[in-house]
Amino acid sequence: MNQITVFSAKNILTMDAARPNATHVAVKDGKILSVGGADCADQWGDVVHDDSLKDTVLMPGLVEGHAHMMAGAMWRYAYAGYHDRIDPTGKIWTGMTDIDAVVTGLSEYASKLEPNEPLVGWGFDPIFLRTERLSRKHLDEISPERPIAIIFSNFHLMCVNSKALEMAGYSRESNGEGIIMGPDGEPTGELQEMAAMFPIMRRLGIDFRGLSQTPDSIRSYGDVCKRAGVTTVTDLYSSMEEEDLATMLAVTGEGDFPLRIVPALGTAGANPAEMAQFARHLRKSSTDKLRLGAVKLMTDGSIQGWTARVRWPGYVGGQANGLWNTAPDQIYELCEEMQKQGVQMHIHVNGDEAAAVSLDAMEQAARTHPWPGARHVLQHCQMMDRGLYERAAELGACTNIFSNHIWFFGDQHAELTLGADRAARMNAARTALDTGVKIAIHSDAPVTSMGPLFTAWCAVNRQTMSGETLGPEECITVQEALHTITMGAAYTLKLDTEIGSIEPGKIADFAVLGQDPTAVDPMALKDVPILGTVAGGKVHLL
């Protein structure tokens, strides 16, 4: 057992300021024994040299501070998104950039299904296909017999074919909300919101709960993360119940499971005191690979759905201010109770009004129940400005910024939601770092694809899909970006003494890369090949 293995690499980017670069790292009992040259562990006794990674570049295992377990299990359905995406097995799914491509791609997928087995797709986003609306007529071309449902990437809409409409009893007679009718008086196939989607989901066997807590889903999440170089990931709105705990513990406890999962329990609607107690109760079951005890608060909606709560001057199209998912009074109550019971909070804030209210609530809680090490984390922070970041810094709160939005939705934000000026200020990583607040950056997978190096690329270059640079003043350096996807994110999870850098005493979690991200053109950061990970000293190459 207690063997010392010394891995060699072309370069090791340690993210440890005390020794930024090295060529060798010694591992014992799954932990980092020492870092340096080939002889770095010689004084500790006999060593075994492992040169299998000698042509690679090692970084600390990457940390994704905001993602969802569904990111793995969604792949049981057909991908129908606009952008290329890689599934847990490594297969590249080519993006479907027009409706013909959607029909052709899904027809091919359908040919591999059992006769009349439902075809369920996900990831479709009409914001990128503005010429024509997807309708049942398109999906009937794939099959008139087989029920088909394509879930849109925001999970608020779907489009279904005639067979699926028939199964749910939807017709020109239907007068419920959310069943969209065409000029001919017949349903177009588009269904809006759960109240209209649910009858279809029920009949096609689509159950989001099954996408999180099953052994397959958990393993699949491990595969998705491994492909992104991620060794520690969150599940940031866990609906875990007592009976799910055993499954999570069993799967994450398997010797070759390559991932550390940090779930945060969703708090919607529940009694704050009881929820805090449940989080504390779960915390006692934590293991190295499953870190329990945090909670997630939802406050507002999304900016591109015009449901985020924004301050003056509001939305550029004059849309009404968004919606609270949790009332400000409840946000205060939750912050107070979590702070009182010592439970770390991850607080979803897209709009700046939501961020301001959350900071007010955190400040009040901090006055009543001082807790210097709370490290509550504002999540998304898309519209936070200098003033709000200053307040976060004063409170010792962390901010996890949604940098992927710049590329995926930046053009839409400039044109349709916030207007050009405020869009250029979105996801302001530069301002955040300058105010001294601790930051991470994230993908929110499966909302956008998991890949911290891609997220870092977004924060460094701030390029949109149309090739614009959105707010160059808010760009951060490659070094800063690499820090946020390792030490930065680890700090937000209170794991920065255990992971996030390659230094003695920490867990031997590495990302194995094909190139040195500090040596490539910053525009090529997203293309640095991920070869696999090392988790607790165990090598997991792709």
Partner 1 sequence: MKRLPLTVIGGYLGAGKTTLINRLLTEDHGKRLMVMVNDFGAVNIDASLIKAKGVDTIELTNGCVCCTMGADLFMAVGDVLDRPKWPDHLIIEASGIGDPARIANVSRNEPELSYAGIVTVVDGENFEDLLGDVQIAPQLASQVAVADLVVVSKVAQIRTSLRHRLEATGAARMMTAEAEFSQLLWDIQGEVPDRSHAHAHFAQWSEEVPGFFSRDQITALLKSRPSGLYRVKGFVRLLEGMAEVQVVGKSVEITLCKYEGTAVLVGIGPQAQFDMQAIKTWWEGA
Q: Which residues bind partner 1 (CB under 8 A)?
A: 168-170, 173-179, 193-196, 198-199, 201-202, 207-209, 239, 242, 266, 268-271, 274, 298, 309, 320-321, 323-330, 353, 357
Q: Please identify, using beta-carbon distances, which residue of 29 and 274 lies nearer to partner 1.
A: 274
| Smallest gap from residue 372 Cβ to partner 1 (A) | 30
Which amino acid belongs to residue 433?
A: L
- Pairwise CA distance, residues 172 & 59, whole Å: 58
CB of 207 to partner 1, least distance (A): 6
Exposure string of 392-415, with b = 16+ CB inside 10 Å and e = fewer, is bbebbbbbbbbbbbbbbbbbbbbe
- The secondary element (H helix, E strand) that includes residue 79 is strand 78-79
Q: Write down the least CB distance from residue 367 to partner 1, Å.
A: 21
* Shorter beta-carbon distance to partner 1: residue 187 or 537: 187
Closest separation between CB of residue 173 and partner 1, Å? 6
Distance CA 399, CA 382 (A): 10
Q: How many CB atoms lie within 10 A of CB 323?
A: 13
Q: What kind and span of H or E run contains 176? A: none
CB 138 within 8 A of CB 99: yes
Smallest distance from the beta carbon of 177 to partner 1, in angstroms? 4
Question: Judged by CB, which is closer to partner 1: 31, or 340?
Answer: 340
**Least distance (Å) from partner 1 to the CB of residue 290?**
21
CB of 141 to partner 1, least distance (A): 25
Residue 5 or 321: which CB sits closer to partner 1? 321
Cβ-based neighbour number of residue 329 at 10 Å: 10
Q: What does the angle CA 121 – CA 122 – CA 125 come to, to the nearest 5 degrees? A: 120
In the bound state with partner 1, the residue whose beta carbon lies nearer, of 177 and 521, is 177
CB closer to partner 1, 353 vs 444: 353
CB under 8 A, 24+ apart: contacts of 79-85: 79/121, 79/122, 79/123, 80/105, 80/106, 80/121, 80/122, 80/123, 80/124, 80/150, 81/122, 81/123, 81/124, 81/125, 81/153, 82/124, 82/125, 82/128, 82/129, 83/408, 83/449, 85/123, 85/449
296 or 380: whose CB is closer to partner 1? 296
Minimum CB distance to partner 1, residue 171 (Å): 10
Q: Find, among 266, 278, 194, the residue nearest to 236 by Cα.
A: 266
Query: Considering beta carbons, is residue 332 or 407 the nearer one to partner 1?
Result: 332
- 331, 302 Cβ separation under 8 angstroms: no
